[in-house]
């Protein structure tokens, strides 16, 4: 079966870039990305490409080329569902904030709403593709809703988890390490559905990189991949603390172990802690699933990855306070970076939020500069914590869009995101305009500390004794 019309429900960080790349690589397929949030859809349709809701290198060029040709963004969800032969579900699956599994399990209410809407509208057979990250065996629940509430049409459910990382989304989508497709491999209809999705990816992904599995393996592989990646970050971060005590250098340790081909060099950058919308949420979900099967040792093992990450963020803010003579009350501390990593405007679970909150609890005055994150977003992140009133957050934390002004009169600078531009600043000028001693805390290990010391900065880098 050759797919000619695709609908993607959810126009977020995954739905938008993923569909833009499929549209670019498959001009023969019409793709409509729909969302319940009209502001998001308007932003995707904005003539000014600067206003797209997701910033990713090269994304605007691809949207510019495909939008209005074979890529469409719309709020008319029913129509898009009706017209599509294949529907990707790419809605958010955040950690539950209420009820059973609160703070651990994935909240599947948005997924269920999608399933019910598809069931209501669909009048012809459809292939449903889970693009969102879901707990293992969600496909079963989806199938039950679709079959029991639908109009008697046949639904095939595939799991096709997305492995793109933000900041490199377009590159990752164009050149994925692998594409994973789980389906009902035991039935003809299941295999036909799998083949239809394989055919789409085969337009640009070499066949040997398209892996087909049972649905459950595919769903669980996504959670497992994120758990392994985050585990590497927590492992090196735990060693960073030991480096600081012993005089070892975490970069040297990372290089030395990474040259072992069994370990490999990637994902060994010590940092102020991992952020992003996925790692924490997906590991908590894995822990919850393990517990729900009574596998307490398995759950405890993975939970430790999160605990080390919390510790690393707290350790960084504690270091700032202790270095600044045990008080930051009334002192200006400048944050360079707020996004959870460079080359994205996404701030979900960014380490900067937790570090800021800790320092605000100590009555610090924080000023933030990030090249891509808006003031509105930064305040929304802080307000969401409910630690203090909105007025207090605005009084204690300021946002500045000039990197030099934001550092003026600061007692300390903290680097929270590894944006490349921070490396090329005129650090002498920044030093001259700061309070003395001028402290700098590099939470990302990107600055040339030897050079900064010659200027006169008092320097701290994570993992350097
Ligand atoms: N962000 C990433 O880098 C990434 C990578 C791989 C996988 N994932 C997974 O992909 C999924 C989506 O993540 P995201 O970052 O794109 O989330 P997001 O919050 O950016 O986007 C989700 C969108 O879905 C919309 N939505 C929710 N319910 C809807 C409904 N019933 N009908 C129509 N639209 C609806 C929301 O309005 C929102 O715009 C999650 O499961 C996530 O774990 C994310
Ligand atoms: O050596 C490293 C590597 C990463 N990080 C941090 O870890 C977080 C996550 O980074 P990254 O994995 O690059 O970005 P994400 O967009 O969160 O991507 C992860 O989460 C996605 C959502 O599930 C998956 O699709 C990707 O494969 C997976 O890498 C960020 O805060 C990074 O700064 C480190 O501190 N040190």
The residue out of 179, 205, 231 marking a domain boundary is: 205
Q: How far is the CA of 131 from the centre of ligand 1 (A)?
A: 9
Q: Which residues are annotated as a binding site for NAD(+)?
A: 10-15, 35, 40, 91-95, 132-133, 166, 278-281, 348
Q: How far is the CA of 111 from the centre of ligand 1 (A)?
A: 10
7 is catalytic: no
Mean pLDDT of 183-200: 96
Q: Are residues 235 and 374 in the same domain?
A: yes
Q: Whose CA is nearest to atom 4 of ligand 1?
A: 14
Ligand nearest to the CA of 112: 1
Burial of 402 (0-12, 13-18, 19+ CB in 10 A): exposed
Q: Does the structure show a pLDDT above 90 at 1?
A: no
Would you state the pLDDT for residue 136?
86
Mean pLDDT of 173-202: 97
Which atom of ligand 2 is nearest to 272's Cα? 35
Q: Does the structure show a pLDDT above 90 at 207?
A: yes
Q: Whose CA is nearest to atom 33 of ligand 2?
A: 341
- Per-residue pLDDT reduced to its tens digit, 312-350: 999 999 999 999 999 999 999 999 999 999 999 999 999
Q: Any idea what the CATH number is for the domain that residue 119 is in?
A: 3.40.50.720
Residue 127's nearest CA partner among 93, 106, 157, 105 is 157
Q: State phi, psi for 163 to the nearest 5 degrees.
A: -110, 10
Ligand nearest to the CA of 168: 2
Give CA–CA dist 133/291, Å, rounded: 19
Ligand nearest to the CA of 163: 2
Q: Are residues 156 and 282 in the same domain?
A: no
* 420 within domain boundaries: yes
Residues with a CB atom less than 6 Å from ligand 1: 9-15, 34-37, 40, 77, 90-93, 110, 113-114, 132-133, 162, 164, 166, 277-278
Would you state the pLDDT for residue 220?
95
Give CA–CA dist 405/410, Å, rounded: 10
Q: Are residues 219 and 198 in the same domain?
A: no
Q: Whose CA is nearest to atom 28 of ligand 1?
A: 110
pLDDT confidence bin for 238, thresholds 50/70/90:
very high
CB atoms within 10 A of CB 372: 17
Give CA–CA dist 332/115, Å, rounded: 50
Would you state the pLDDT for residue 370?
98
Residue 168's nearest CA partner among 56, 88, 27 is 56
Q: Are residues 38 and 13 in the same domain?
A: yes
- The CA angle 386-389-394, to the nearest 5 degrees, is 110
- Per-residue pLDDT reduced to its tens digit, 88-105: 999 999 999 999 999 999
ipTM: 0.98
Mean pLDDT of 408-426: 98
Pairing of strands 210-214, 86-89: unpaired
Q: Are residues 224 and 78 in the same domain?
A: no
- Per-residue pLDDT reduced to its tens digit, 21-58: 999 999 999 999 999 999 999 999 999 999 999 999 99
Range of the domain at 158: 5-205
- Per-residue pLDDT reduced to its tens digit, 106-149: 999 999 999 999 999 999 999 999 999 999 889 889 999 999 98
Residues with a CB atom less than 6 Å from ligand 2: 133, 162-166, 226, 229, 233, 267-269, 271, 274-276, 278-279, 340-341
Would you state the pLDDT for residue 433?
98
Give CA–CA dist 410/331, Å, rounded: 7
CB contact set of 65 (below 8 Å; sequence gap of 6+): 24
Q: Are residues 253 and 115 in the same domain?
A: no
CA distances from 434 to 131, 183, 330, 335, 413 (A): 48, 59, 15, 14, 9
Which atom of ligand 2 is nearest to 350's Cα? 31
- Per-residue pLDDT reduced to its tens digit, 364-404: 999 999 999 999 999 999 999 999 999 999 999 999 999 99
Q: Does the structure show a pLDDT above 90 at 150?
A: no
Average pLDDT value for the chain: 97
Burial of 58 (0-12, 13-18, 19+ CB in 10 A): middle
Give CA–CA dist 286/224, Å, rounded: 8
Q: Are residues 191 and 248 in the same domain?
A: no
Q: Are residues 301 and 341 in the same domain?
A: yes
Q: Are residues 249 and 388 in the same domain?
A: yes
* 239 within domain boundaries: yes
The residue out of 205, 240, 259 marking a domain boundary is: 205
- Per-residue pLDDT reduced to its tens digit, 267-304: 999 999 999 999 999 999 999 999 999 999 999 999 99
Which atom of ligand 2 is nearest to 346's Cα? 16
Is residue 73 within 8 A of residue 33, CB to CB? The reply is yes
CB atoms within 10 A of CB 120: 12
pLDDT confidence bin for 151, thresholds 50/70/90:
confident
Would you call the peptide bond into 197 cis, given omega within 30 degrees of 0 as the criterion? Answer: no
Would you state the pLDDT for residue 205?
98
Q: Whose CA is nearest to atom 18 of ligand 1?
A: 12
* 302 within domain boundaries: yes
Q: Are residues 277 and 182 in the same domain?
A: no
Give CA–CA dist 401/405, Å, rounded: 8
Q: Is the pTM of this model over 0.80?
A: yes
Mean pLDDT of 433-457: 98
Is residue 443 within 8 A of residue 351, CB to CB? The reply is yes
Encoded tokens for 399:
């946002």
Would you state the pLDDT for residue 20?
98
Would you state the pLDDT for residue 137?
86
Domain count, the chain: 2
Is residue 46 within 8 A of residue 52, CB to CB? The reply is yes
* 210 within domain boundaries: no
Give CA–CA dist 174/201, Å, rounded: 10
* 50 within domain boundaries: yes
Q: Does the structure show a pLDDT above 90 at 85?
A: yes
The residue out of 140, 170, 205 marking a domain boundary is: 205
CA dihedral 105, 107, 111, 112 (to 10 degrees): 100
Would you state the pLDDT for residue 15?
98
Q: Are residues 443 and 325 in the same domain?
A: yes
What length does the chain have? Answer: 465
Q: How far is CA 186 from the centre of its chain?
A: 34
Looking up tokens 């800790």 gives: 358
pLDDT confidence bin for 465, thresholds 50/70/90:
confident
Q: Which of 7, 8, 278, 459 is catalytic?
A: 278
422-451 b/e (C-beta count within 10 Å ≥ 16 → b): beeeebeebbeebeeebbbbbbbbbbebee
Mean pLDDT of 353-369: 98
Q: Are residues 220 and 99 in the same domain?
A: no
């Amino acid at each position: 079966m050759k797919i000619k019309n695709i609908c993607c429900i959810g126009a977020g960080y995954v739905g938008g870039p993923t569909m833009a790349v499929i549209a670019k690589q498959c001009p023969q397929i019409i793709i409509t990305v729909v969302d319940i949030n009209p502001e998001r859809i308007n932003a995707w349709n904005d003539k000014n490409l600067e206003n797209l809701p997701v910033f990713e290198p090269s994304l605007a060029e691809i949207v510019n080329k495909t939008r209005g040709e074979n890529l469409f963004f719309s709020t008319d969800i029913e129509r898009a569902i009706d017209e599509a032969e294949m529907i990707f579900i790419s809605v958010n699956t955040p950690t539950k904030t209420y009820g059973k599994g609160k703070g651990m399990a994935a909240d599947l209410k948005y997924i269920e709403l999608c399933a019910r809407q598809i069931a209501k509208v669909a009048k012809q057979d459809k292939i449903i593709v889970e693009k969102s990250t879901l707990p293992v065996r969600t496909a079963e629940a989806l199938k039950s809703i679709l079959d029991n509430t639908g109009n008697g049409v046949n639904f095939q459910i595939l799991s096709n988890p997305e492995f793109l990382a933000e900041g490199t989304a377009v590159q990752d989508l164009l050149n994925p390490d692998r594409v994973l497709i789980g389906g009902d491999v035991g039935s003809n209809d299941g295999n036909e559905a799998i083949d239809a999705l394989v055919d789409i990816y085969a337009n640009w992904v070499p066949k040997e990189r398209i892996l087909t599995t049972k649905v459950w393996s595919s769903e669980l592989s996504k959670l497992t991949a994120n758990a392994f990646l985050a585990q590497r970050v927590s492992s090196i971060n735990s060693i960073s603390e030991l480096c600081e005590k012993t005089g070892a250098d975490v970069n040297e340790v990372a290089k030395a172990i990474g040259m072992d081909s069994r370990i490999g060099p990637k994902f060994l950058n010590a940092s102020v802690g991992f952020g992003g919308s996925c790692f924490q949420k997906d590991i908590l979900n894995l822990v919850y699933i393990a517990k729900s099967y009574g596998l307490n040792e398995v759950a405890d093992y993975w939970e430790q990855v999160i605990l080390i990450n919390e510790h690393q963020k707290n350790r960084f803010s504690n270091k700032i306070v202790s270095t600044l003579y045990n008080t930051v009350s009334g002192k200006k501390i400048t944050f360079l970076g707020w996004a959870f990593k460079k080359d994205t405007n996404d701030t979900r679970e960014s380490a900067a939020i937790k570090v800021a909150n800790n320092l605000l609890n100590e009555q610090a005055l924080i000023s933030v500069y990030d090249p891509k994150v808006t003031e509105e977003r930064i305040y929304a992140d802080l307000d969401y914590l409910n630690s203090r009133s909105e007025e207090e957050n605005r009084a204690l934390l300021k946002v500045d869009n000039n990197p030099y002004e934001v550092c003026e009169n600061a007692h300390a600078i903290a680097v929270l995101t590894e944006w490349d531009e921070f490396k090329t600043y005129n650090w002498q000028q920044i030093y001259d305009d700061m309070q003395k001693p001028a402290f700098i805390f590099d939470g990302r290990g990107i600055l040339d500390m030897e050079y900064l010391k010659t200027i006169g900065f008092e320097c701290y880098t994570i993992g350097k004794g």
